Amino acid sequence: MFEYQNNNYENRNQMYDYYQMPETGGPASNRPSGPKKTGKAGKLVKKIGAITLSAALFGSVAAGSFQAVNTLIGPTETSDNTAAAENTSASLLKAAAIPGAASEKGSLDVSDIAETVMPSIVSITNKSVQEIQNYFSMFGYGGQTIPQETESRGSGIIIGKNDTELLIVTNNHVIENADTLSAGFIDNQVYEANVKGTDPANDLAVIAVPLESISADTMSQIAVASIGDSDSLKVGEQVVAIGNALGYGQSVTTGIVSATNRTMGSNTQVVNTSADVSALPTYIQTDAAINPGNSGGALVNMKGEVIGINSAKMASTEVEGMGYAIPMSRVSDIIENLMNETTRTKVSADQKSSIGISGLTVNESVNSIYGIPSGVYVASVTPGSGADKAGIKKGYVITGFDGKTITQIQELTELLQYYPAGETVEITVKIPATGGTYTEKTLSVTLGAAESSNNTQTESGQQEDKNNSIY
């Protein structure tokens, strides 16, 4: 998979294709027998008869379609959206279809779907400060870094609210490393958002906007998305993608479901060939046009229900129309758990915390060769630290932090930015046992104060991240 490298947008995209409506027709009309017309007059009569028959058939089809659309759409009022926004988070992911939508295969017009779904779609802006090499380092003069503010954009879906917050689901890669997050709604109003919960392993995150900061006018225009059953999708079924393409605002593309239950990169990213492929995350493959900025947006069926969260696309000169969305049915429970987590903001510099270990990522190749579980391998423990007092030892592998799965050191350092020194958290570790096996244990660790910097400089001036860096 190729990621979109541009600081102006989030780093993944998707795509979709165009649905061809089936041709309609009917049985030939029964006409009473009569004398045959011959010559030009006969031909003219035949043409007139054909035109009349076509018009009659068209009229019946059009009338039936018009009636079906009226039945499917049903009455739409602002009060419906407001009522939907009053739902609690516990029931939102089990929401029914759009009021008035037929239970059979939907066939709403795309414009109707866009009008209904757009109030539940938001644009997300992620601002962060990153350390980059200065200009002179390219020519071998020094390696000091300089801070630079970067900005990326993505999409999100309003999935509910609690007593104090409006809740929005998106991709984890859209909001990761953010110093500040903001959410823009359909009325072009922008509000600051905070991280509610993240699941990097499934590329999911929920962010929250305080209700007290949202104006009554904005609340009257937004809506909670209706969630559909992605397990019932069929290959060839028409879908619609809505998101913040290129950061220009909401846009709509349409296509079909190219495949279901796809595992991304199973041939190139899974090093352990004995791994159970059925245990890998599955995705909806689609060919609708997805552009940078669409990640975290909605993949919608023809009843206006969100059945996927746009997550990634294959980008190559040899690949066209291969986008992927996270199926809602697979992750609904995960999203509900994220919605119920404690909302956190990044702590100030004087409150930054540390577990008290040095570690390194156990990737899939190391796991395959040495049998060490995926996670963060503890290379050393600082005497007197929270990790030391909790019983963590060298050789342990950290696989969970405060209920979140840890697969690499970057995930651990990202999470620590939201936990102040002095807070006690549950950390899951795997402990080596006899015969190359590991046992799992959860320990309570009181976080200590973080080091001023995890980075040291080499004699050449280049910064490097040492294994003895303290996390």
**125, 249 Cβ separation under 8 angstroms:** no
**What separation in angstroms does the CA of 422 have from each of 79, 352, 355, 390, 446?**
46, 10, 10, 14, 6
Which among 17, 155, 173, 402 is annotated as catalytic? 173
374: helix, coil or strand? coil
**What separation in angstroms does the CA of 461 have from each of 138, 159, 448, 455, 465?**
13, 48, 29, 12, 13
The 10 Å Cβ neighbour count of residue 388 is: 17
**308, 295 Cβ separation under 8 angstroms:** no
Cα angle: 240, vertex 241, 244; to 5 degrees: 150
**Structural tokens at position 170:** 């998106």
* Residue 155 main-chain phi, psi, to 5 deg: -130, 165
**101, 75 Cβ separation under 8 angstroms:** no
Which among 203, 230, 385, 402 is annotated as catalytic? 203
How far is the C-alpha of 448 from the C-alpha of 59, rounded, in Å?
76
**Structural tokens at position 313:** 């696309």
* Residue 341 main-chain phi, psi, to 5 deg: -80, 170
* Residue 466 main-chain phi, psi, to 5 deg: -75, 155
Task: Specify the amino acid at residue 348.
Answer: S
Which among 251, 295, 353, 385 is annotated as catalytic? 295
Q: What is the CA radius of gyration of the chain?
A: 28
Would you call 41 exposed, middle or buried from its count of C-beta atoms within 10 A (0-12, 13-18, 19+)? exposed
Annotated catalytic residue 203 = yes
How far is the C-alpha of 215 from the C-alpha of 189, rounded, in Å?
9
**155, 124 Cβ separation under 8 angstroms:** yes
* Residue 248 main-chain phi, psi, to 5 deg: -85, -10
How far is the C-alpha of 107 from the C-alpha of 257, rounded, in Å?
15
The 10 Å Cβ neighbour count of residue 235 is: 10
Q: What is the dihedral of CA 351, 352, 355, 358, to 10 degrees?
A: -150
**330, 336 Cβ separation under 8 angstroms:** no
How far is the C-alpha of 308 from the C-alpha of 225, rounded, in Å?
12
Q: Which residues does the annotation mark as catalytic? A: 173, 203, 295
